[in-house]
Structure 1
Amino acid sequence: MQRPARRLLRQCLAGVHGHHRTHARGLSDGGPIPTPPRERTDCAPSSPKGELSLSLSSVRRALLPWVLFVSACKGEGTVGAQGPQGLQGETGPAGAQGPRGDVGPAGAQGLQGETGPTGAQGPRGDVGPAGAPGGSGTDRLLAARVRIIPLEATALESGAALRAAVEAVPSDGSQTWVLKLGAGTYDLGTTGLVLKRGVFLEGSGVGVSRITSSTAGDGSVVGASGAGLRLLSVSNTGGGTRSVAIFNRDDGFAVSEVRAEALAGQSLTFGVYYQSANGITLSRVESQASSDRGRVMGFAFDQVGITLEDSKAVVQGTASAVESVIGVGVAGNVGILRRVFINASATNGARSFGVEAAAQNVSVMDSEVFSGGATLSAALHAETPGVSVRSSRLKGDGTGAFGVYADFPAPTPGVRMGIDQSSIEGYETAVYLKAGSTARLGHAKLYGGVFVEQGASALCLFTFQTVQQDTLPVGSSCQ
């Protein structure tokens, strides 16, 4: 039985291989692929009767080893090495531009660059409209507590109400109060009113609201640091040893638009008296002082750094018992007098000076100063070389009066009292220099000559003297 099976197997394999060759030739010749003949599934042709036939399962068992062999022969080989890269092809045409994307967030700010050079100045613009007038320094008090001090039935009762209002303010300066005075008189009696820090008295106008006393103490009103007076009048009717209207010894006491009047002191009559205070400015203050004895002074500044501007001093000594009459006296530190009118006159008194300058530096600018009537009278009495006069008029009225009287000792070489662009007038002598004094006059006009004692010196530059209506230049020695 094995032989017929093997023979049958060979016939089957031959048929398969033949079919493959025929199929291959059809593919290579390009002709149609022949349809293989339908074969019997059992690969057993008709055999003569009596010949043994093979079943399909027997054929499968016989072919299995060969199938496994063929499958094994079809395994893949190893992958060869990668070939070299081909040349890059030509760049294709650019595609159409896509839509614009959204704007990204702003980046961080870079470092500031160096400042460039200054550009050329542009043309000057038109002048703008004038601004509103500025307020005075005490306008800052608009935010302070305000209390109105009404007038009572009598002037003394009104003065008592004012004193009580000041005493009610805390003494530590923790509160700022503006006490407003009505139109009338507040009489303090024989005791002055001592202000506290943070207390400002504001009247209804100069000469409208009046504070008065007859105290022989420091003054009718005594100032304090951080306090002030405005828009009122203060007077001392005197009668005692001392008569002072306004007294102050503290820095930061503000006084503006005020009239001070002191009368009838037996030894001292001062309208405004400041001691040992610095950085003080008095603006639009009028001081009047009058007595028949002792010392009479409109503004007395002792060891004070002071600026007096847009102000007025009128001082009178009414009898021969008066020791001295002085419009403005400055001693010790620094005094600046700007746009000030001063008139000091005495009736047969010993001395009368418009300005007595005994401080390290005293400047008189844009002012008019007059004095006369005493045994020795001068518009300016200089007791120190640190005096300068500019754009002012100094006139001594009456017999023997001088425009300038200087009697200071010899100063440091090169230091001179200076008078520039001013008019100096005296009865016979415009400028009198005592021994040791030095003065320089420039662009000045003299009414009267320059008298120089032995040991004094004077230098005149572009200075002229008027004699009997003739104006003549003077030499460098002022002669």
Structure 2
Amino acid sequence: MRIIPLEATALESGAALRAAVDAVPSDGSQTWVLKLGAGTYDLGTTGLVLKRGVFLEGSGVGVSRITSSTAGDGSVVGASNAGLRLLSVINTGGGSRSVAIFNGGDGFAVSEVRAEASAGQSLTFGVYYQSANSIRLSRVDSQATSDRGRVMGFAFDQVGITLEDSKAVAQGTTSAVELVIGVGVAGKFGFLRRMLIDASASNGARSFGVEAAAQSVDLVDSEVFSGGATLSAALHAETPGVSVRSSRLKGTGTGGSFGIYADFPAPSPGVRMGIDQSSIEGYETSVYLKAGSTARLGHASLYGGVFMEQGASALCLFTFKTVQQDTLPVDSSCL
């Protein structure tokens, strides 16, 4: 373990951290743990690219802070068999993109970390993983805020991800924001467990707590909220390979606010998105199924009805609907 002491200024501390990473042999044959003190390591306008085998360990979340204003890949860019623990990573933005943590390698371990990204002009992501396999994240708090472009707490693109015991907050603060997503999973698979997710847009176009566009996405023991946009949903399902268990999904606000908004082509016969032992809440409609979408709901509580466009279908088993304080069982067709 090597301790990276704080220098006279935050920028000098950031330079010392960068020099320590640069000094590590690049072959990855050994594991190097760089210990950060209590304070801020300011990287300026350029992010810190880790090397294989390098682990940064802070003195506590919010105690050790790595910050930059880079418009590049991220304030910290991960590497294979490297990792982050017990610290905060911040991107203050101002450029075209603002990403706190970026990773494109396998085996990048992140736990007990806070990621904060703000003020990207086109893209603001707290945590962004791309083209990586068998990734597990735990106890990560990711926050993203901007007044324009796309805003995401966690963005997983072509990634197989397990994310648990974590929190995502994504906020669009003006109507210029195109899309706000708490957790977005595309490509391979996502397993989300014991999550607290909140996505909100101030009169923006779209806001989704979870956007599920991977081959399979499981959401378990979680609470997900979304609202404020022209179209808001706690869960936006773009694939039938979605399973929700023991969770609460709530679309807040008025108008186009849903617990679940499903928008995927008709799957193979018998294939349905599955919702089990969960509470689904919307303004007037809890579940909205676009044409072709299919869903199965079992032992679920609906606050608002199920709306199916022509060509969509739903199967309900032991499911109840509450409308204007009246709770009634729904039939097998969710009516």
Q: Same fold (TM over 0.5)?
A: yes
Structure with higher RCO (Cα < 8 A, 6+ apart) = 2
Q: Does 1:465 align with 2:321?
A: yes
Distance in 2, Cα, partners of 1:176 & 1:355: 35
5+ unaligned residues in a row in structure 2: which ranges? none
Unaligned runs of 5+ in 1: 1-145
Inter-partner Cα distance in structure 2 for 1:384 and 1:175: 42
Give the deviation of 1:198 after TM superposition: 1.0
Alignment partners' CA distance in 2, 1:247 and 1:148: 24
Counterpart selection for 2:309 from 437, 449, 453: 453
CA deviation map 1:15-47 (0-9, x unaligned): xxxxxxxxxxxxxxxxxxxxxxxxxxxxxxxxx
Corresponding position: 1:299 with 2:154 = yes
- How far residue 466 of structure 1 moved from its aligned partner, in angstroms, is 1.0
State the TM-score, normalizing by the size of structure 1: 0.70
Q: CA deviation at 1:278?
A: 0.8
Does 2:289 correspond to 1:433? yes
Tell me the distance in 2 between the aligned counterparts of 1:305 and 1:441: 26
User: Which residue, 205, 220, 223 being the options, matches 2:75?
Assistant: 220
Matched, 1:325 2:180: yes
**C-alpha distance in 2, partners of 1:374/1:467?**
23
Match of 2:207 among 345, 348, 352: 352
Please list, as runs of the form range in 1=range in 2, the aligned pairs for 1:229-268 lying within 5 A after superposition.
229-268=84-123
Contact 1:169–1:175 (8 Å) recurs in 2:
no
Superposition pairs of residues 78-157 of structure 1, within 5 angstroms: 146-157=1-12
Quick check: 1:294–1:323 contact (8 Å CA) kept in 2?
yes
Q: Output the CA distance in 2 between the equivalents of 1:176 and 1:461.
A: 53
SS class of match (1:161) = helix
In structure 1, distance between residues paired with 2:100 and 2:310 = 43
User: What is the letter of the counterpart of residue 140 of structure 2?
Assistant: V
Any idea what SS the aligned residue of 1:162 has? helix
CA contact (8 A) 1:188 1:212 kept: yes
Rounded Cα–Cα distance in structure 1 between residues aligned with 2:160 and 2:29: 27
Matches within 5 A, 1:379-398: 379-398=234-253
CA distance in 2, matches of 1:235, 1:251: 22
User: Quick one: distance in 2 between partners of 1:269 and 1:242?
Assistant: 6
Distance 1:172 1:186 in 2: 26
After TM superposition, the score normalised by the length of structure 2 is 0.99
Letter in 2 for 1:300: A
> When the two structures are aligned, how many residues end up with a matched partner?
334
Task: Give the number of the structure whose alpha-carbon radius of gyration is greater.
Answer: 1
Q: Which residue of 1 aligns with 2:267?
A: 411
CA distance in structure 1 between the aligned counterparts of 2:327 and 2:264, rounded to whole angstroms: 30
For 1:449, the aligned partner's letter is G
- Residues 166-177 of structure 1: matches in 2 within 5 Å? 166-177=21-32
1:131 aligned partner: none
Question: CA RMSD for the aligned pairs?
Answer: 0.5
Cα distance in 2, alignment partners of residues 299 and 274 from structure 1: 8
Partner of residue 197, structure 1: 52
Q: Which of 189, 197, 202 is the aligned partner of 1:342? A: 197
1:208 counterpart (43, 63, 66): 63
Query: Given residue 231 of structure 2, which amino acid in structure 1 is its aligned partner?
Result: L
Which residue of 1 is the match for residue 38 of structure 2? 183
Task: Report which of the two has the higher share of strand.
Answer: 2
Residue 468 of structure 1 deviates from its aligned partner by 2.2
Distance 2:279 2:170 in 1: 22
Deviation at 1:335, TM superposition (A): 0.3
Post-superposition shift, 1:176?
1.4
Question: Percent same amino acid at aligned positions?
Answer: 89
Higher helix share: 1
Q: Which runs of 4+ in 1 moved over 4 A?
A: none
Q: Residues 360-407 of structure 1, C-alpha deviation per residue, up to 9 Å, x if partnerless?
A: 000000000000000000000000000000000000000120000001
